[in-house]
Amino acid sequence: MTIREVSEKYGVSADTLRYYEKMGMIPPVTRNASGIRDYTAEDLRWVELAKCMRASGLSVEAMVQYVQLFQQGDETIPERLSLLLSQRAELLEKREKIDAALLWLERKIERYEAAAETGVLKWTDE
């Protein structure tokens, strides 16, 4: 696939895809005989991983570290596992905070919905 096709498929700009590669967030992309990027299925899996990990808040540095560890071979599996476990822990902590904020917001919305029906906003149990 061309960089344009990958950009359209994943909803990221070609510049972002180049950035991922330049920074080492994905391994070097396969190139055709003319030196033009020609994304293979393996390259696409790396793009998907980079997109997912970035969306989850993984830092560029951690993503680069993961790729470097992967490229060093299976002896780095424990280190990669540790990196992924750490990221999961961070995401779970973020989710707890978001869940708490959503619960608070839902309660507030319920009060305002009741107030919209009755014309009276009750401030008890705030």
- Chain centroid to CA 106: 26
- Answer yes or no: are the C-beta atoms of 27 and 46 closer than 8 Å: yes
* The pLDDT of residue 21: 96
CA atoms within 13 A on the CB side of 59: 6
Q: Which residues of the chain have pLDDT under 70?
A: 124-126
* The pLDDT of residue 78: 98
- CATH code: domain 3-72 is 1.10.1660.10
* The pLDDT of residue 85: 93
* The pLDDT of residue 125: 57
* The pLDDT of residue 77: 98
> In the chain, where are the structural domains located?
3-72
* The pLDDT of residue 114: 93
Q: Residue 117, SS3? A: helix
Q: Which amino acid is at 85?
A: L
- Answer yes or no: are the C-beta atoms of 47 and 68 closer than 8 Å: no
Between the alpha carbon of residue 59 and those of residues 15, 46, 62, 63, the distances in Å are 18, 16, 5, 6
